[in-house]
Amino acid sequence: MDAATSLAPATAKRRGRAFRVLPGVELITLAALVAAPFLLADRPELVTLMTNILILSLLAISFDLCWGYSGIMSFGQALFFGVSSYVIALVGRDLDFSQLWATLPLAMLVGFLLSGLMAAFLLLGRRTPTSIFVAFGTLTGAYAAERLVAGWQYVGAGNGLSSIKLMAFGSTEFVEGPAFYSIALGILVAVFALSRWLVRSQLGLVLAGMRQNEERLAFFGYRVQAFRALVFSVAGAIAGLSGALYAYHQGFTGPSNLGPGLSTTAVIYCLFGGSGTLIGPVLGTAAIEGISFVLSDTDAVRQFWPVILGFVLLIVVMFQPTGLLGLVVSTRERIGSYAGRRR
């Protein structure tokens, strides 16, 4: 005991000044994303790829808020993504309206309400739900929605909705390209900053405590499930935003955008990059989509892509559960420090 106590203050001090990796990773990523459209000016297909990565990163971040921060194994993120994509497609088709200042907030609202509703069912019951129950509940929701939409003529049934009205601001319309990229980047940076603030606030500390011992937090007097539901709803809003941008960018949405397949892809983005870091999911999305792009010319690979992804997931879960970032970021840094100065 005495040896340990005499060493303690010294180690504490060393840790206080410890080199932090995450801010560096965040800055480098941001710099790369800002530079990309200039570097890729003569490769439009790569700008399109990068725009897709930005948009899907939002989906990956939304899953990270659920799993990495709140311990909710959600297989339903695509549900909020997909429903919002359909909503903005229908608003464009039936109301001939696609002003982003209204439709993007609308997509967020749809995601927020839908996930809030789901949280009320799955999380806020009288009994504390198990994580298996939540995983199956969200999975079932996504699966049911995909089936439902695939058989519904009004929303294009199995063919989905194509030629979606272009996203617009005033009289400017945005097709894929540097302008759309800039909007997506701006939104990603804003969402990232907001999420970062959330998970580094005292609410984030509560979430960190919940992940370690949920029961203990309940006995302190925290309404654990209410916090879960709140974060789940915020994540749903982000997934909705992602879905709307995706549909505008592709000009198309279909039943597979609602289902367990895309939900699982979001899980892979996040776990591959490193859950519980926010920037990890962005890197994971970039890595997976980048590899997929490079390999997509090879027919054999394209056919087996889902299988390859499945293996990636297995390998990550078994050998590197903290993902790519876990290789360079210490546990202590990942669990983190929380906002506000002391003393």
Partner 1 sequence: MALLDVTGLTKSYGPLRALDGVDLTVRAGTFHGLIGPNGSGKSTLLKAIAGAHFPTGGTIRFDGADVTTAPPFQRARLGLSLKFQITAVLPELSVYDNVLLALQAHDRTIDLLRSRSRARLAPRIMDALDRFRLADRADDLAGELSHGEQQWLEIAMALAPEPKLLLLDEPTGGMSPEERRVTGELLAPIKASCALIIVEHDLDFIKNICDRLTVLDQGRVLGDGTTDEIENDPRVREIYTSRV
Where do contacts with partner 1 occur on this chain (CB under 8 A)? 1, 4, 8-9, 11-12, 15-16, 198, 201-203, 205-206, 208-209, 212-213, 215-224, 227, 230, 331-332, 335, 338-343
Q: How far is the CB of 112 from partner 1 (least distance, A)?
A: 15
Give the Cα separation of 185 and 198 in Å (integer). 20
Q: How far is the CB of 242 from partner 1 (least distance, A)?
A: 23
- Residues with Cβ < 8 Å from 178, sequence gap 6 or more? 37, 41, 47
Give the Cα separation of 130 and 321 in Å (integer). 21
Q: How far is the CB of 202 from partner 1 (least distance, A)?
A: 4
**Between 189 and 205, whose beta carbon lies closer to partner 1?**
205
Identity of residue 327: L
From residue 339, alpha-carbon distances to 14, 146, 185, 276, 321 in Å are 20, 40, 25, 16, 26
**Checking DSSP bridges between strand 252-253 and strand 161-162, what pairing results, if any?**
antiparallel
Q: How far is the CB of 65 from partner 1 (least distance, A)?
A: 14
Concatenate the DSSP letters of all residues of 47-94 into one string.
Answer: HHHHHHHHHHHHHHHHHHIIIIIH----S-HHHHHHHHHHHHHHHHHH
Q: How far is the CB of 15 from partner 1 (least distance, A)?
A: 7
Identity of residue 262: L
**Between 55 and 224, whose beta carbon lies closer to partner 1?**
224
**Between 327 and 341, whose beta carbon lies closer to partner 1?**
341
Q: Which two tokens stand for residue 200?
A: 């580094």
Nearest to 285 by CA among 262, 304, 307: 262
**Between 93 and 211, whose beta carbon lies closer to partner 1?**
211
**Between 207 and 267, whose beta carbon lies closer to partner 1?**
207
Nearest to 334 by CA among 93, 13, 20, 6: 20
**Between 76 and 326, whose beta carbon lies closer to partner 1?**
326
Q: How far is the CB of 332 from partner 1 (least distance, A)?
A: 7
